[in-house]
């Protein structure tokens, strides 16, 4: 490795207090040939950070490196302070975060975590990819390498240092251009309009995102995200051809630009370039002929993924499934989709993100809510937190001034998830009373019209067949009071008109009867 005199040393020591007498910190040793510059340091309760720039020789771009140690006992406010510290430092440079961050609960494959959603949201919002895919201490991946550019190469474990595995990696910046002879070209005669269209990757990406959201096709949404994650993790930066094709390999790029420059090339170059002929070494094969009957037989022979059976409403019920577990799995899946969208989308149009959220993410939080709607403030706020987080990150991405959650959803023309569950409950009760749903509801409610007329009463009033316990919650117990005070006009109206009336009602959220808190 050499002596200390062969390196420029940067360090940030841990602040020693009477409560914390153990020393520590972070340090970086850099070769003087990389022309390192100290940018800033940061220290808080349980976190020490160094940020430097390295400046390799021209034409390789500078890289900003952030070395971090985060203690397992680091508090949430300290983590928030750390994220606020490095956010302005990212800029347009390749930004690398590495160190012992102690996030054992983050699943970097699915972008989910039961506890560390703040850091996961930060990484997704800044399109950072985590490159360490092996265990670094016991059964956990605690030492991480994240970067917002595809420059990290050859990540591998080496000889363990203390109780952690050491990690080696390299930075794969683009190589300098070749000095080989290139025939002269008359560039002023080239098809620059086509070239500009080809190079406008961001504008084309936004058009693709808009078309995917407008299609309301979940498969198209996942296919777009998967293609961008794949190209971000493993392929060099690509360009987009005139027909919208992503060109990732150097061969495809060469053929594309050869077509544009073919008419202005001078001797001895002749274009366009010819495609290579297929190799005879590649084996040829025919696909077998499969008829529809064989496909149906194969489908019928498939074993179900679980032994659970759906109830009358199509919601999967299982005796071992706890309500809190269902809410945790549902919100975790929705948060993963939010992270995926902010990591893969380039647009700054708030309407696009809002439509993508209502099309692909919000249904996850509402499916079957008539059955499982929460009756405690903890669970209601846990579900609402997904939309809170989405709206806040959308305002940050689109550079909209900060405002409170009720104001944010008003600007986005959204309703709280609590209010939408309330509307779903009333709609289900309306259709049940009018016989649109065929099921036995005698143990849920019974028609109980009043014997005398009241100003705010109707002929379809209901009553509970028994006095439910305090912990009991059903769609009837949640909305019986609101149903019984409806006017006759809306109680006997069609489902379409009844739904239109409900949508015009003010939100029940943040009122005295609401489970949500500001």
Nearest alpha-carbon partner for 254 in 178, 148, 171, 189? 178
> Kind of pairing, strands 25-30 and 37-44?
unpaired
CA–CA separation, 373 and 335 (whole Å): 19
- Angle at the Cα of 68 from the Cα atoms of 62 and 71, rounded to 5 degrees: 175
CA–CA separation, 59 and 177 (whole Å): 9
- Indicate the CATH number of 8-171 among 3.40.1710.10, 3.60.10.10, 3.90.1310.10, 3.40.30.120: 3.60.10.10
Q: Where are the domains of the chain?
A: 8-171, 311-414, 431-504
Three-state DSSP state, 435 = coil
* Residue 372 dihedral angles phi and psi, to the nearest 5°: -110, 10
Positive or negative, the Cα torsion across 109, 112, 113, 114? negative
What tokens were used for 228?
């961008």
Q: Are 252 and 276 in contact (CB under 8 A)?
A: no
What tokens were used for 203?
């504008």
pTM across the whole model: 0.66
Task: Render each residue's pLDDT in the chain as its tens digit; 518 residues.
Answer: 445 678 889 988 887 766 665 667 899 999 888 889 999 999 988 899 999 999 877 556 788 999 999 988 888 889 999 999 999 898 888 899 999 999 988 888 888 888 888 898 898 888 888 999 888 888 888 899 999 888 888 888 887 767 788 888 888 765 555 555 555 566 667 766 666 655 566 677 788 888 888 888 888 888 888 777 665 444 444 556 666 666 656 666 666 666 655 555 444 444 444 444 555 554 444 445 555 566 666 655 655 444 444 443 345 555 555 778 888 989 999 999 999 888 888 888 898 899 999 999 999 999 889 988 888 889 999 999 999 999 999 999 999 999 999 999 999 999 999 999 999 999 999 999 999 988 888 888 998 877 666 666 788 899 988 877 766 788 888 898 889 888 888 889 999 999 999 988 888 887 777 888 87
What tokens were used for 107?
């699943």
> Kind of pairing, strands 47-54 and 63-70?
antiparallel
What tokens were used for 125?
């919002």
CA–CA separation, 429 and 411 (whole Å): 31
CB burial of 322-346 (b: ≥16 within 10 Å; e: otherwise) equals: eeeebbeebbbebbbbbbbbbbbbe
* Terminal CA-CA length for the chain: 56
Helix and strand numbers (H, E) in the chain are 17, 16
Whether the bond between 173 and the residue before it is cis, its omega within 30 degrees of 0, is no
Query: Which are the contacts of 445, defined by CB distance < 8 A and separation ≥ 6?
Result: 429, 432, 462, 463, 464, 465, 476, 480
Kind and range of the H or E run holding 121: helix 117-125
Nearest alpha-carbon partner for 9 in 33, 27, 35, 25? 27
What tokens were used for 415?
């309703």
CA–CA separation, 393 and 296 (whole Å): 46
CB burial of 238-262 (b: ≥16 within 10 Å; e: otherwise) equals: ebbbeeeebbbeeeebebbbbbbbe
């Amino acid at each position: 490795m050499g002596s200390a005199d062969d390196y420029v040393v940067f360090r940030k020591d841990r602040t020693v207090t009477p409560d914390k007498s153990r020393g520590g910190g972070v340090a970086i040793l850099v070769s003087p040939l990389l022309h390192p510059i100290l940018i800033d340091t940061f220290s808080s309760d349980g976190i020490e950070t160094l940020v430097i720039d390295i400046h390799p020789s021209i034409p390789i771009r500078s890289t900003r490196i952030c070395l971090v140690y985060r203690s397992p006992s680091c508090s949430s406010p300290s983590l928030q302070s750390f994220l606020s510290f490095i956010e302005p430092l990212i800029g347009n440079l390749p930004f690398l975060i590495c160190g012992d961050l102690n996030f054992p609960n983050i699943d970097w494959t699915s972008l989910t975590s039961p506890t560390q959603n703040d850091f996961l949201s930060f990484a997704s919002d800044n399109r950072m990819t985590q490159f360490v895919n092996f265990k670094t201490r016991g059964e956990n991946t605690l030492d991480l390498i994240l970067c917002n550019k595809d420059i990290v190469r050859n990540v591998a474990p080496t000889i363990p240092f203390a109780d952690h595995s050491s990690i080696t990696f390299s930075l794969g910046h683009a190589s300098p251009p070749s000095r080989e002879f290139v025939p002269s070209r008359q560039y002023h005669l080239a098809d620059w309009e086509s070239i500009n269209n080809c190079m406008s990757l961001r504008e084309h990406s936004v058009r693709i995102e808009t078309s995917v959201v407008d299609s309301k096709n979940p498969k198209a949404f996942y296919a777009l995200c998967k293609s961008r994650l794949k190209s971000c993790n493993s392929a060099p930066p690509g360009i987009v051809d005139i027909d919208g094709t992503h060109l990732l390999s150097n061969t495809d790029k060469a053929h594309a630009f050869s077509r544009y420059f073919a008419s202005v090339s001078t001797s001895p170059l002749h274009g366009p370039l010819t495609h290579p002929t297929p190799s005879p070494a590649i084996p040829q094969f025919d696909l077998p002929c499969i008829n529809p009957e064989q496909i149906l037989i194969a489908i019928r022979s498939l074993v179900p993924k679980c032994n659970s059976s759906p109830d009358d409403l199509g919601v999967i019920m299982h005796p071992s499934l706890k309500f809190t577990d269902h809410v945790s799995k549902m919100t975790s899946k929705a948060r993963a989709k939010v992270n995926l969208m902010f990591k893969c989308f380039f647009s700054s149009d708030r309407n696009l993100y809002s439509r993508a959220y209502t099309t692909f993410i919000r249904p996850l939080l509402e499916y079957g809510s008539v059955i499982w709607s929460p009756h405690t403030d903890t669970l209601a706020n846990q579900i609402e937190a997904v939309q809170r987080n989405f709206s806040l990150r959308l305002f940050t991405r689109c550079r909209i001034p900060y405002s409170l959650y009720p104001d944010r959803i008003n600007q986005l023309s959204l309703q709280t998830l609590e209010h939408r569950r309330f509307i779903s409950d009333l709609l289900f009760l309306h259709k049940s009373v009018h016989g649109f749903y065929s099921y036995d509801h005698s143990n849920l409610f019974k028609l109980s019209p009043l014997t005398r007329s009241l100003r705010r009463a109707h002929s379809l009033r209901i009553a509970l067949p028994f006095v439910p316990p305090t912990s009991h919650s059903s769609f009837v117990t949640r909305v019986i009071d609101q149903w019984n005070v409806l006017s006759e006009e809306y109680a006997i109206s069609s489902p379409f008109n009844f739904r239109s009336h409900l949508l015009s009602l003010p939100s029940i959220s943040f009122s005295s009867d609401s489970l949500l808190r500001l």
